[in-house]
Structure 1
Amino acid sequence: MPVTATDAFKVLFAILLPPLGVFLEVGFKGHFWLNILLTLLGFFPGIIHALYVIIKH
């Protein structure tokens, strides 16, 4: 996947507020809801999942 100029902002949002970073990447799809669940269960798993989604999509 090519790196775009907005990826830096998405990564920053993924670290500060993981669901927002995922939302900016995929919208209201399954990854977004999974990330909310992971963030509620533990902030660190939410960050890891958000970074994964941003890098893969």
Structure 2
Amino acid sequence: MSFVADVLLLFITIIFPPFGVFIIGGCSVDLLINIALTSLGYFPGHIHAFYLEYVYMQRRDYGLLEPFEPAPGVYSDAINTGGRQVYGAVIVEETVVA
């Protein structure tokens, strides 16, 4: 993702936290947890969504030299791997050849 996409994602999360979680993690347990936290109060949903986005962006930008341990409280593989596909112990990174 580019800087503009990251800013847009953060803006969407400010308006409606579950939609920001859905964008990075898809339909997962993390989305259901965020919906429950947002229904309990607007700020718990924000804290959870921003934590998930922090983990996602940090792992996406860091790169995967070796597999990460799952982050505490994160249940989605898409978030734990920074959006990369993981097949067993093999990590596949998409590259664009121009």
Deviation at 1:43, TM superposition (A): 0.4
More helix by share: 1
* Higher strand proportion (structure 1 or 2): 2
Q: Which has the larger radius of gyration?
A: 2
Q: CA deviation at 1:8?
A: 1.1
1:29 corresponds in structure 2 to: 28
Q: TM-score, normalised by structure 2?
A: 0.53
Partner of 1:53: 52
**What is the alpha-carbon root mean square deviation over aligned residues?**
0.8
- Mapped to 2, the partners of 1:54 and 1:9 lie a distance apart of 12
Which residue does the alignment assign to 1:38?
Answer: 37
The answer for unaligned runs of 5 or more in structure 2 is 57-98
Contact 1:18 1:50 in 2 (8 A): yes
Between the aligned partners of 2:7 and 2:31, the Cα distance in structure 1 is 19
Identity of aligned residues (%): 39
Give me the whole-angstrom Cα distance separating, in 1, the residues matched to 2:23 and 2:35.
14
Aligned length: 54
Structure 1 alignment gaps of length 5 or more: none
Q: Distance in 2 between matches of 1:47 and 1:15?
A: 7
